[in-house]
Structure 1
């Protein structure tokens, strides 16, 4: 089949890779100018910042197998950092968790490797899907062209974007749009800060209590990173919702203040900026692995599906959902 996949995050790329290996002709459309979605790495003069997903764990046998192969290939590595809980500047060592993995040399590397050999068209936003006989056409908008162009026809279409964005695209199948509308995704403001000298905080990752921030990470402590004092701070879901439409400079000022309060360090950064993830993480999921209408040949996958896991919005959810949809189509 000739298949269009909308979204080049982990779920879309996992599905695309497996369909390609099955012999299907696949084109992936991505509105951003790079692949990997929320597994992104921001490159700066001070080094890279994993400003989206911070790490991932693996619990299912299927995901463990691929993570092991990615590790062997050098795409990922375990993050053997020290993790604590912070409360008003006081650090308490956090309990041991399962192995934490990160992409090397940045979280984005997993998506980059999965995309190799695929027809991925970045900088192209799909505005809507419409039926064309027993096939599908896409209305695709590119920044360099003032009007949307028609792409297709395709034998099948897969929507692999956050549920809020998927709802509009899936209106061609009202039951799917209704299902996607049930999912709640929360936003996240992320702070990136670089310091000239070491802050000597004594930990690499921290869950923060009683603060605008909920998470801190010493990005340079991850394997394969450029040395330096590079820190990530992610605001809580509640604070991000309340300040979703604030000006970035104002958000940066507030999150830097929260960083100083949480760490007890008053050293000022030589570089700082923020990024707003409007759809950062699924707070709820659909119980299914994915959505697929065999007759119409249209489906959806993403981290907003439970895919057999407890919890929501994990990288493993995205992977398992994309793999499950490819298996259903096969």
Structure 2
């Protein structure tokens, strides 16, 4: 079959690779200039910032096997840095948990590896999917062209994008659109900080309590990342919702103040930038593995499906959901 995949994050790239290996002809459409979705790395003069997903873990045997393969290829490695719980500058150990993994030399490197050998059309946003006889046409908007163009026809269309972005494209499948609406995604403001000298903090990452922030991490504590003193700070879902439309400069000021208060370090950064993720994590993951209409040949996958795990929004969810959809397509 001729299959279109919308979205080149981990889920989209995984389902595309799997279907291509099953003999289908796959074209991937990605609205951004690069692949990896929320596994992004922002490059600067100081080095890269993993400003989306921070790391990933594995609980299922299938994902553990995949990580083992990625490790052998040198695409990912374990992140063994000390992580703590922070409360107004005071910290305590977060304790031991499952092994945490990161892609090297930045989180987006995994997506770049997975994209090899795929036909990925970057900078092309799918704004509508329309039935065409028993096939589908995509309405695609590119930054370089003033009007949307048609792409296709395709025998099947698979959406591997956040729920809030998938719902408007599912007008011809109202039951799917309704389910996507139920998996409402929460936003996240992220602050990227570069410092002229070490902050001398005795940990590489921390969950932050009683703060505008929920998480901070020294990006340079991750294996094979460029040296320096770079920190990523992510706001809590509640604060991000309340300040969703905040002016970026104001959001930066408030989050920087929260970073200083949380760490007890008042060294001023030489680099400070914010990024707003409108759709960072699912508030209510759907209890299924994916969505697939065998008659209309439209499917949906992503990290907002529970796939038998507790909760959602993890890289493992995205991977397992993609495999489930590829298996359903056949």
| TM-score past 0.5 threshold | yes
Structure 2 residue 311 is matched with structure 1 residue 311 = yes
Give the distance between the partners of 1:283 and 1:70, measured in 2 at CA.
29
Give the distance between the partners of 1:65 and 1:328, measured in 2 at CA.
21
Aligned counterpart, 1:211? 211
TM alignment of 1:126-275, pairs within 5 A: 126-275=126-275
Q: How many residues align?
A: 330
Structure 2 residue 29 is matched with structure 1 residue 29 = yes
Structure 2 residue 103 is matched with structure 1 residue 103 = yes
Give the distance between the partners of 2:289 and 2:170, measured in 1 at CA.
17
Aligned counterpart, 2:40? 40
- State the 1:283 CA deviation: 1.7
Unaligned runs of 5+ in 2: none
Aligned counterpart, 1:296? 296
Q: Which runs of 4+ in 1 moved over 3 A?
A: none
Structure 2 residue 263 is matched with structure 1 residue 282 = no
Aligned counterpart, 2:90? 90
Aligned counterpart, 1:322? 322
Give the distance between the partners of 1:95 and 1:40, measured in 2 at CA.
27
Give the distance between the partners of 1:65 and 1:251, measured in 2 at CA.
40
Give the distance between the partners of 1:239 and 1:302, measured in 2 at CA.
25
Superposed CA deviations along residues 127-182 of structure 1, whole A, max 9, x for unmatched, are 00000000000000001100000000000000111000100111111110011111
Calculate the aligned-residue CA RMSD, in Å: 0.5
- State the 1:214 CA deviation: 0.5
TM alignment of 1:50-69, pairs within 5 A: 50-69=50-69
- State the 1:108 CA deviation: 0.5
Superposed CA deviations along residues 264-306 of structure 1, whole A, max 9, x for unmatched, are 0000001110000000111211111000000111110001101
- Give TM-score, length-normalised by structure 1: 0.99
Aligned counterpart, 1:49? 49
- State the 1:218 CA deviation: 0.4
- State the 1:95 CA deviation: 1.3
Give the distance between the partners of 1:311 and 1:182, measured in 2 at CA.
14
- State the 1:110 CA deviation: 1.0
Task: For residue 172 of structure 1, give the secondary structure of its aligned residue in structure 2.
Answer: coil
- Give TM-score, length-normalised by structure 2: 0.99
